[in-house]
Amino acid sequence: MLKKIERRVRVIVTKPFKRPKHPNNKPPPLEEQQPTMEPQHSKKPPTGPFLFPKTQSTVLPDPSQFFPQSLLSTPLPTNSFFQNFTLKAGDQPEYIHPYLIKSSLSSLSLSYPSQFHNSAFIYQVFVADFTISAASDSGPQKGHIISSHSDLSVTLDLPSSNLRFFLVRGSPFVTASVTGNTPVSISTIHAILSFGTSNSNTKCTVKLNNGQTWLLYSSSPINLTQSGLSAITCGGFSGIIRIAVLPDSDPRYESILDRFSACYPVSGDAFFNKPFCLEYKFQKKGWGDLLMLAHPLHIKLLSSDDCDITVLEDFKYKSIDGDLVGVVGDSWVLKPPSVSMTWHSIRGIKEESYDEIVSALRKDVEALNSSAITTPSSYFYGKLIARAARLALIAEEVCFLDVIPVIRKFLKDTIEPWLDGTFKGNGFLYDGKWGGIVTKQGSVDSGADFGFGLYNDHHYHLGYFLYGIAVLVKIDPAWGRKYKPQAYTLMADFMNLGRRENSNYPRLRCFDLYKLHSWAGGLTEFADGRNQESTSEALNAYYSAALMGLAYGDTHLVATGSMLAALEIQAAQTWWQIREEDTLYDNVFTRENRVVGVLWANKRDSGLWFAPPEWRECRLGIQLLPLLPISEVLFSDSGFVRQLVNWTLPALTREGVGEGWKGFVYALEGIYSKENALEKIRNLNGFDDGNSLTNLLWWIHSRGDENEEECGGGGKLCWFGHYCH
């Protein structure tokens, strides 16, 4: 009898998710996939993807100052590594590893940054070590133009200076193309101690009084002369100039830079061609092999078996993200550990725990009342939707299906008004200027919905909506068929993989394919670049998209969501989670912090947007919520979890600590001390608005016995592992 049940479960789980038929029985590459927007079983031909009503936002900046007309007709990036170059005067720096780059009028300045650090924060200091400018007869000085951009690069043109800069992430060289036999000036705020050129006049060595040594290479002879204490000039040049700092002024590195100076990258793209496999391809010019730099997570995930690369372990540049190590090769393959997408807990729940969970579940479901919701906020409303959806899945897991109809009705009543455009006080609209979804409130108020109208936090807000939609599609497939167009457009806003010019959304709005995690900053200028506070809410977005793929039988969406979720987890464990024994950050910062508050491109901050550093329970909670099956993979290192909880617990004695934040601390404590955590959770008298007593009890009772072997990303309920291998 048991075997029959097992066979039945296997059929139920696997049958809806068979690969769609394609020629030669092979699915097209993920890069070519465009989500199907029409409802399933529709007899009418698709008329194009669904769009929410269009709006003319009054708060969005005008992109025409920095983008050429040819790019203005396509969706534009709103959370990219070069976003500062597109905002206001475009003169705030961006961190393009290993240099801070700042563009101003007809010049570009680069800095090999030093770090300032204390127990509260770390940041890199911008100093204009070198500024490149050129004089031409093309009229008055004008700002830069972003002539092209890709996953790993941006090309800046300075039209009034005949300069084009190929800024490719991870290049130890800054590469400039000069046209028109243009006079070039290279200046520094430091004093030049020595200046010398090679016999061929294609290499120049400059030593500065701050201890730095810089190397300049040219594609043809260039006649450089020192002008005063702090400038080098050339009467006229056409060709390629490459500039690199010599790390630590170490002469051992000079021969390496010499060797690879003639091959330069002009762009770089990332490809999702296989499940749990990300490939970088750099387009190069010149001759010889390409030298690039990899950060610590790259080094961890690089697969030398799948690409022809050589890692130069002793060739390093300093970075706030950890040492950047030399990699020779124009094609990289990164392979994160696979993560299976599960609806329910990874370990399962013992039947003797069902009663307590069901008791809480009854009360939480009885309290559901869509008409009582007063918030118009897309963020807080989304959390309430996802909270209710969790109740449905927990009900499935503890075999108490009586409450499913009530939850289904609540989800319909709360989700449909946002998808139909009938929600009073707010709703989703489409902005054609940058290409994406904004809210009614956000389109007229830059502070509304936490800046959603400026493309801030899109993956957070929409991730909660997708979670509720995924669960509703699972329990009501007919509803899912009806609302599939709207569901997929919400997903595509931040998860579009396509590169097509006629797309309605930019490619991967929030996810950074070089850093391998998301940014949340949107179209706001920040001196320290993009930022992200809550990695767990970013993880929720990609996890929820994968679940939606499971509900719709969309294997490509499952694969993409799973891959991005896996990378977000790896990045969080690398840069946000700080173990006592870690050496990535300064000792003083590491000693005082177990988790980063807000991580910036150019800064690490112990504070939060909404709380000071000493509110440690908030720092822990914002890196854990919402509490989901995937949370166990995010916090899979039980040794670190113990360190984090012990670091946080003293903060709970502070007057005024919210019960909701306590719940997240106790949830993590349950990973290594189940009974203690369970007792504390039973005594809570309040919960986060996206959490519930049911969810906390589900989490604790799914911890298993403390002597059980850890199951990592799999587990006995890991039914969908066949998608991940």
Q: How far is CA 619 from CA 511, 535, 610, 670, in A?
A: 22, 11, 10, 18
Q: How far is CA 661 from CA 615, 677, 681, in A?
A: 10, 14, 11
Residues 6+ apart with CB under 8 A from 665: 617, 620, 621, 645, 648, 649, 652
* Distance (Å, whole) CA 128 – CA 462: 40
Instruction: Please answer whether residues 85 and 103 qualify as being in contact, where contact means their C-beta atoms are separated by less than 8 angstroms.
Output: yes
Catalytic residues: 457, 533, 537
* Distance (Å, whole) CA 107 – CA 131: 7
Instruction: Please answer whether residues 536 and 623 qualify as being in contact, where contact means their C-beta atoms are separated by less than 8 angstroms.
Output: yes
Max Cα-Cα span within the chain: 90
Q: What angle do CA 537, 539, 545 make, to 5 degrees?
A: 105
* Distance (Å, whole) CA 484 – CA 490: 10
* Residue carrying the six token digits 């840069």: 575
What is the three-state SS of 548-601? HHHHHCCHHHHHHHHHHHHHHHHHHHHHHECCCCCCCCCHHHHHHCCECCEEEC
The helix-helix angle for 458-475 and 404-420 (nearest 10°) equals 130
What is the three-state SS of 616-683? HHHHHHHCCCCCCCCHHHHCCCHHHHHHHHHHHHHHHHCCCCCHHHHHHHHHHHCCCCHHHHHHHHHC
* Distance (Å, whole) CA 473 – CA 478: 8
Q: How far is CA 450 from CA 519, 689, 690, in A?
A: 14, 17, 17
* Distance (Å, whole) CA 259 – CA 581: 37
Instruction: Please answer whether residues 320 and 602 qualify as being in contact, where contact means their C-beta atoms are separated by less than 8 angstroms.
Output: yes
* Strand 598-600, strand 603-605: pairing: antiparallel
10 Å Cβ neighbour count for 271?
Answer: 18
Q: What angle do CA 703, 704, 706 make, to 5 degrees?
A: 95
Instruction: Please answer whether residues 141 and 89 qualify as being in contact, where contact means their C-beta atoms are separated by less than 8 angstroms.
Output: no
* Distance (Å, whole) CA 708 – CA 710: 6
The dihedral over CA atoms of 629, 635, 636, 638, expressed in degrees to the nearest 10, equals -130
- Report the chain's C-alpha Rg in angstroms: 27
* Distance (Å, whole) CA 555 – CA 563: 12
